[in-house]
Amino acid sequence: MTKPYLLKGDVARPGPIDVPDGTTLRSIVETLGGGMANGRAFKAMQIGGPSGGLVTAAQLDLPLDFKALKPFGVRRGDGVLTVLDEDRCIVDAVSRFMEKTQTEFCGKCVSCREGTRRMSELMRALRACRLDREGLAVLTDHGEMVSVTGFCALGKGSFSTLRAALEAFPGEFEAHLAGSCPLCARETRPPIEPGDFAYERKRIVIDAEKCRGCGRCARACHAQAITGELRSPFAIHADRCVKCYTCMELCAFGAIREVELDG
């Protein structure tokens, strides 16, 4: 079985790919993507778009399986795999991913709506080398707050990429705090931009044959997109669903899945 993704960034062959179950991240880069472009070394991969998660070379031999990647802060997202090479500034990339997060959220959760807005402002300041150490502390405090108080998995995962980047590439954050980033100074390529995989091509559905009618998914759905009666199959209303994947992650029966629409 294969799943569709959009592979973009610093690989030789970016574009739509079909990833068979069990495929490792290394195989996606080296085989499906044709390897890194221009002979540069691999640095990181953002999985699942802005609210997904960041992996480094240490995780390349893991499969593109969200249960295997969950311990590294990676969750389901918009179906985009963005590869960064060694010459990309991680602060610049994270800032652009953070800006994109606000286009995905529904806005109902105050901590998410206001917290990610402030995080995006602080990341832009850091990218421009205008943030001090106190400001960085405020940024991480906001990230921790949203990750704990967000209603859904989309909000809870909004800090994952920044947290992973801080742990893996602290020197690049230090350079921006000091006022001069050598990677940004010599970069002449267009910046990495997140997104591009149309959300309307995906839909979350409930398999009526597997659903036990426990109602756990409906109680957790902040968008009120899931309805039904206890001990009967529930259903997801596509016009209300924001694709936060909270229901899929909670379902103990494997009854909720993602499908791709034709076109």
Check pLDDT > 90 for residue 12.
yes
Mean pLDDT taken over the chain: 89
Among 3.90.1660.10, 3.10.20.600, 3.20.20.70, 1.25.40.10, name the CATH number for the domain at 2-186: 3.10.20.600
Q: Domain boundaries in the chain?
A: 2-186, 199-260
Share of the chain above pLDDT 90, in %: 60
Q: Which residues fall within 8 angstroms of residue 51, CB to CB, at 6 or more apart?
A: 75, 77, 101, 104, 154, 155, 157, 158, 160, 161
pLDDT tens for residues 79-129? 889 999 999 999 999 999 888 877 666 677 788 888 889 999 999 999 999
Identify the residue with better confidence: 64 or 222.
64
Q: What is the mean pLDDT of residues 223-239?
A: 93
Please state, in angstroms and rounded to a whole number, the distance separating the CA atoms of residues 105 and 119.
Answer: 14
Rounded alpha-carbon distances, angstroms, from residue 254 to 234, 248, 250: 13, 8, 9
Please say whether the beta carbons of 231 and 223 come within 8 A.
no
Count of Cβ atoms closer than 10 Å to residue 131 Cβ: 21
Please state, in angstroms and rounded to a whole number, the distance separating the CA atoms of residues 73 and 70.
Answer: 5
Q: The whole model's pTM is what?
A: 0.83
pLDDT tens for residues 181-211? 999 999 999 998 876 655 556 788 999 999 9
Rounded alpha-carbon distances, angstroms, from residue 114 to 107, 110, 120: 9, 6, 10
CA R_g for the chain: 19
Please state, in angstroms and rounded to a whole number, the distance separating the CA atoms of residues 24 and 7.
Answer: 14
Fold of domain 199-260: Alpha-Beta Plaits (3.30.70)
Q: What is the mean pLDDT of residues 43-50?
A: 88
Domains 2-186 and 199-260 share a fold: no
Which DSSP letter does residue 201 get?
Answer: G
pLDDT tens for residues 47-80? 987 778 899 999 999 999 888 888 888 877 668 8
